[in-house]
Amino acid sequence: MGLRGLSISDESTFDFEPSQEWIRWPGTRYGQDSPHLQFAKTTKASRGKHGSSPVKPTRPSKIRKPKAASPVKKQPAQPSTTHGVIPKRDPPIHFLTLPPELRNRIYELIAVQHEPHYPQIRPVWELGKRMLSNDRCFPLEPSLAIVNHQLREEMLSIFYGCNRFAFKASEIEVLHDVRMTSPVLQKKWAIARPASQYLQQVELHVSAQRLSVDAMITIKLKKLPDGGVEITHDSEESGYCCCLEDEAVAEVLIEARGGNDLMRILQFLTAKRVAKLGRAGTRMSVGLFEFPANRCPNCQKHRLTLVGGG
Ligand SMILES: [Zn+2]
């Protein structure tokens, strides 16, 4: 039976004598007479013969278009074998490590606006419930105020201290009963906003009319640098009688002597005005008081015919 793939049969004989080394297989490893070295020599010689084949006629080689100059490949940075001095990195900058002046500037950009805020307490109904569930206080405080205690104190001192807060009756018909000109709601708002202690300027806007002509009264309460409180109103500018406002302001300033809690003084003032308006005029249904269209006996100026309060 012949071996497959080789032209060797059982009767085949070899025309050489096997080396004595072969008998002691594997023989001298890589020795001078090692069979595999002999085999390697013969194959190398045969390859050399094939390599010296006659030169074939060459075809005209195709002219290859020159390749566009490939961008020089950046060699990967070789790891330096010498260890230089690594410059020490600056410590990371955290918001609270910034100078206070910079932090204040950021707070101002976030939370201070030119127009006044209009505080409100709005009833909120939960979906699917008929009963009033909760009241929500406005304006919303900046989100930065809930990060931590320090940020809260700094942020809210700017938010309440640098903005104006104007209390007035809502212009939305549904919220006509939720008038922030009422001392009860002002007190409720101040309790819900303990940080309102930072307030520096508070205003009371009340509607007024003179024979169907609208005239708004603005009363400003301002905390002074010496700790006192200043109350001004623009009734004089309207040219109408402002005796009632003057009296109310004078009495409140006397009663609030020593105190500078603007929300507390505002409640005093609002309650005082309501009491005076009720004595001098006729109370209407939506927090308005009506007066006869005559002149004031004290200042001889025309009286407003409709003044808001409470
Ligand atoms: Zn008057």
Which residues does residue 229 pair with via DSSP β-bridges, in sequence order? 223
Structural Rg of the chain based on CA atoms? 49
Query: Does residue 106 sit in helix, strand or coil?
Result: helix
Say how many Å lie between the CA of residue 24 and the centre of ligand 1: 138
Query: What are φ and ψ of residue 274, in 5° steps?
Result: -60, -40
The answer, yes or no, to whether residue 27 has pLDDT greater than 70, is: no
Q: Which strands sit side by side in the sheet containing 229-233, from one edge to the other? A: 165-168, 201-206, 217-223, 229-233
Among 42-46, 145-149, 239-243, which is the least confidently predicted range?
A: 42-46
Average pLDDT over residues 142-161: 95
CA distance 21 to 2: 27
Query: Does residue 105 sit in helix, strand or coil?
Result: helix
Provide the pLDDT for residue 155: 95
CA distance 266 to 231: 10
CA distance 21 to 218: 123
Provide the pLDDT for residue 54: 46
Provide the pLDDT for residue 51: 45
Query: Does residue 188 sit in helix, strand or coil?
Result: helix
Render pLDDT for 81-94 as a digit per residue (tens, 0 to 9): 566 777 788 888 89
Provide the pLDDT for residue 1: 46
CA 273, chain centre distance (Å): 42
Tokens matching residue 220: 């400003």
Say how many Å lie between the CA of residue 180 and the centre of ligand 1: 26
Say how many Å lie between the CA of residue 299 and the centre of ligand 1: 4
Going from N- to C-terminal start, the domains of the chain cover 95-308
Provide the pLDDT for residue 76: 61
pLDDT band at 257 (very low <50, low <70, confident <90, very high): confident
Query: What are φ and ψ of residue 12, in 5° steps?
Result: -65, 145
Say how many Å lie between the CA of residue 254 and the centre of ligand 1: 21
| pTM for this prediction | 0.67
Taking a C-beta distance cutoff of 8 angstroms, is the pair 100, 187 a contact? no
Say how many Å lie between the CA of residue 219 and the centre of ligand 1: 17
Say how many Å lie between the CA of residue 243 and the centre of ligand 1: 4
Query: Does residue 210 sit in helix, strand or coil?
Result: strand
Mean of pLDDT over the chain: 79
Say how many Å lie between the CA of residue 266 and the centre of ligand 1: 22
The answer, yes or no, to whether residue 266 has pLDDT greater than 90, is: yes
Query: Does residue 125 sit in helix, strand or coil?
Result: strand
Render pLDDT for 232-249 as a digit per residue (tens, 0 to 9): 988 767 788 889 999 999
pLDDT band at 230 (very low <50, low <70, confident <90, very high): very high
Provide the pLDDT for residue 213: 82
Q: Which residue has the higher pLDDT, 272 or 50?
A: 272
Say how many Å lie between the CA of residue 56 and the centre of ligand 1: 126
Provide the pLDDT for residue 212: 78
The answer, yes or no, to whether residue 146 has pLDDT greater than 90, is: yes
* Percent of residues, the chain, with pLDDT higher than 90: 36
Say how many Å lie between the CA of residue 245 and the centre of ligand 1: 9
Residue 190: enclosing H or E segment and its boundaries?
helix 183-192
Taking a C-beta distance cutoff of 8 angstroms, is the pair 119, 189 a contact? yes
Q: Which residue has the higher pLDDT, 292 or 114?
A: 114
Say how many Å lie between the CA of residue 309 and the centre of ligand 1: 18
Would you tell me how many other CB atoms lie within 10 Å of the CB of residue 134? 9
Say how many Å lie between the CA of residue 244 and the centre of ligand 1: 7
The answer, yes or no, to whether residue 43 has pLDDT greater than 60, is: no
Say how many Å lie between the CA of residue 302 and the centre of ligand 1: 8
Say how many Å lie between the CA of residue 272 and the centre of ligand 1: 17
Provide the pLDDT for residue 45: 57
Provide the pLDDT for residue 222: 95
Catalogue the long-range contacts made by 168-172 (C-beta closer than 8 Å, 24 or more residues apart): 168/118, 168/204, 168/205, 168/206, 169/206, 169/207, 169/286, 169/287, 169/308, 170/120
Say how many Å lie between the CA of residue 206 and the centre of ligand 1: 18
Among 10-14, 123-127, 243-247, which is the least confidently predicted range?
A: 10-14
Say how many Å lie between the CA of residue 240 and the centre of ligand 1: 8
Say how many Å lie between the CA of residue 292 and the centre of ligand 1: 13
CA distance 185 to 163: 20
Say how many Å lie between the CA of residue 90 and the centre of ligand 1: 69
Say how many Å lie between the CA of residue 301 and the centre of ligand 1: 6
Render pLDDT for 161-208 as a digit per residue (tens, 0 to 9): 999 999 998 766 666 667 888 899 999 999 999 998 999 999 999 988
Q: How many CA atoms lie within 13 A of 11 on its CB side?
A: 0
